[in-house]
């Protein structure tokens, strides 16, 4: 699961980098920046939902702060 999350994070950062590249190169003349940012948002939401599902299924354990009564 760690490897999958790391790969997803790298894809998110790569999408953000490509959006920056298209922003500087196209000077707002195309929609490639918007498309790259849309892909980044979709990947981020998918990763978040996958982490929620993995926690629900018990594949990963929450390591939050301990709760004292």
Q: What is the pLDDT of residues 1-57, one digit of tens each?
A: 889 999 999 999 999 999 999 989 987 788 899 999 999 999 999 999 999 999 889
Structural domain includes residue 53: yes
What is the band of 60 on the pLDDT scale with cuts at 50, 70, 90? confident
pTM: 0.79
With CA atoms as reference, report the closest residue to 11 among 31, 28, 29, 36.
Answer: 36
Structural domain includes residue 68: no
- pLDDT score of 68: 67
Q: Tell me the C-alpha distance between 15 and 56, whole Å.
A: 28
| Domain encompassing residue 41 | 2-57
Number of separate domains in the chain: 1
* 67 pLDDT more than 70: no
Total residues found in the chain within this entry? 69
- pLDDT score of 69: 62
Structural domain includes residue 69: no
Cβ atoms within 10 Å of 25's Cβ, excluding its own: 11
Structural domain includes residue 63: no
């Amino acid at each position: 699961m760690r490897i999958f999350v790391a790969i997803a994070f790298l894809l998110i950062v790569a999408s953000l980098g490509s959006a920056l590249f298209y922003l500087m190169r196209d000077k707002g003349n195309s929609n490639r920046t918007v498309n790259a940012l849309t892909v980044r948002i979709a990947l981020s939401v998918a990763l978040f939902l996958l982490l929620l599902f993995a926690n629900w299924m018990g594949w990963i354990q929450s390591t939050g702060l301990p709760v004292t009564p």
